[in-house]
């Protein structure tokens, strides 16, 4: 009887140990991952905890790619992969994850492109067995602004914030001499990561042109109160001075100098204006309470 009791006790302990080991393995497989997003100023990356449903390397890759393409729960963050940019296919080769984006990815330039890459690589390299990420565009290697292939990337390839000072090339629109059409110019702006690209672009328009043959479109004293981009819509809040409009500048030139400049930025398709934090219905003789899209017809180059 004593031997039977010891045998049963041993079996119970073995069973409990086995169950405990299985629970520990399950907990480990359901670890929390950090999913990376772009911050509200488009100046760096931030992360949120996420516990995936998948278990295998393949399942985790598919699930986290889906999360990276979804809107973050924190409304002030921007999703990693911009709207309209599609992952055509991907494959796992040993410890490498090879992502193949469509040609839309090529529209990402400068800091926005680096931030996009950083969120993808830092998120996916947390998966056990994924040590490297390679990005292709339309089955061709991704290249940087100097024409050099980016190649394999690891999580250590990126720092948490891009705060380094850099020059960022933007396209701006100002008025022509008669004030009825827009003229395009390119400008390198000094970017430190402390302001969003949208904010810098709008303030360039407010400050006016420095090139000859271009003319201001916005009254002196106009102030940008707030700007944010969500789901490809850039929300611009200006003070009431903007409504005064410069003489000899048409309504469309004043409005689209901002709109066309912003839509040149990656991830922005439309612009909505507010004045002092509230929607404005009219701007002089123009309906101002709508979503504005790019207007190429008002560009002098297209006449």
The per-residue DSSP string of 150-188 comes to ---B-GGGS-SB--S-EEEEEEEEEE-TTSSSEEEEEEE
Cβ–Cβ < 8 Å for 217, 175: yes
152-202, pLDDT tens digit by residue?
888 877 754 444 455 677 899 999 999 999 999 988 776 655 567 888 899
Maximum alpha-carbon separation in the chain: 108
Do both 122 and 183 map to the same domain?
no
Residue 48: inside a domain, yes or no? yes
Between these two residues, 155 and 134, which has the higher pLDDT value?
Answer: 134
Cα–Cα–Cα angle for 251, 172, 230, nearest 5°? 80
15-43, pLDDT tens digit by residue?
333 333 444 344 444 789 999 998 877 77
If one counts the domains in the chain, the total is 2
So what's the pLDDT on residue 253?
A: 95
**Of 138, 157, 176, which residue is a domain's last?**
157
**Of 125, 157, 189, which residue is a domain's last?**
157
So what's the pLDDT on residue 146?
A: 60
110 pLDDT more than 90: no
pTM > 0.75: no
Do both 141 and 215 map to the same domain?
no
Do both 194 and 134 map to the same domain?
no
List C-alpha distances in Å: 121 to 31, 205, 257.
18, 35, 36
Do both 239 and 140 map to the same domain?
no
CA pair distance 82, 68, nearest whole angstrom: 9
For residue 158, how many other CB atoms are within 10 A of its CB?
A: 20
Residue 65: inside a domain, yes or no? yes
Residue 16: inside a domain, yes or no? no
- Domain range enclosing 212: 166-302
So what's the pLDDT on residue 151?
A: 84
**Of 96, 131, 157, which residue is a domain's last?**
157
């Amino acid at each position: 009887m004593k031997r039977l009791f010891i045998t049963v006790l041993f079996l119970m302990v073995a069973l409990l140990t086995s169950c405990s080991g299985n629970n520990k393995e399950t907990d480990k497989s359901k670890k929390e991952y950090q999913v990376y997003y772009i911050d509200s100023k488009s100046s760096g990356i931030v992360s949120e905890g996420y516990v995936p449903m998948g278990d295998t390397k393949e399942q985790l890759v598919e699930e986290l790619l889906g999360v990276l393409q979804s809107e973050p729960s924190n409304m002030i963050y921007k999703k990693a992969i911009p709207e309209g940019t599609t992952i055509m296919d991907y494959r796992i080769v040993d410890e490498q994850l090879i992502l193949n984006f469509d040609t839309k990815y090529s529209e990402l330039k400068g800091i926005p492109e680096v931030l996009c890459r950083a969120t993808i690589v830092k998120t996916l390299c947390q998966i056990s067995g994924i040590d490297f990420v390679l990005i292709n565009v339309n089955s061709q290697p991704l290249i940087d602004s100097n024409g050099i292939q980016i190649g394999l990337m690891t999580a250590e390839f990126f720092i948490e914030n891009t705060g380094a000072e850099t020059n960022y090339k933007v396209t701006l629109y100002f008025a022509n001499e008669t004030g009825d059409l827009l003229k395009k110019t390119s400008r390198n702006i000094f970017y430190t990561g402390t302001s969003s690209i949208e904010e810098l672009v709008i303030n360039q328009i407010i400050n006016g042109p420095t090139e000859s043959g271009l003319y201001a479109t916005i009254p002196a004293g106009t102030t940008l109160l707030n700007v944010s981009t969500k789901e490809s819509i850039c929300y611009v809040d200006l003070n009431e001075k903007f409504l005064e409009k410069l003489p000899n500048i048409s309504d469309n030139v004043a409005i689209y100098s901002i709109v066309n400049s912003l839509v040149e930025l990656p991830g922005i398709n439309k612009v909505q204006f507010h004045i002092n934090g509230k929607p404005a219905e009219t701007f002089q003789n123009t309906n101002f309470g709508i979503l504005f899209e790019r207007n190429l017809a008002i560009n002098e180059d297209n006449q």
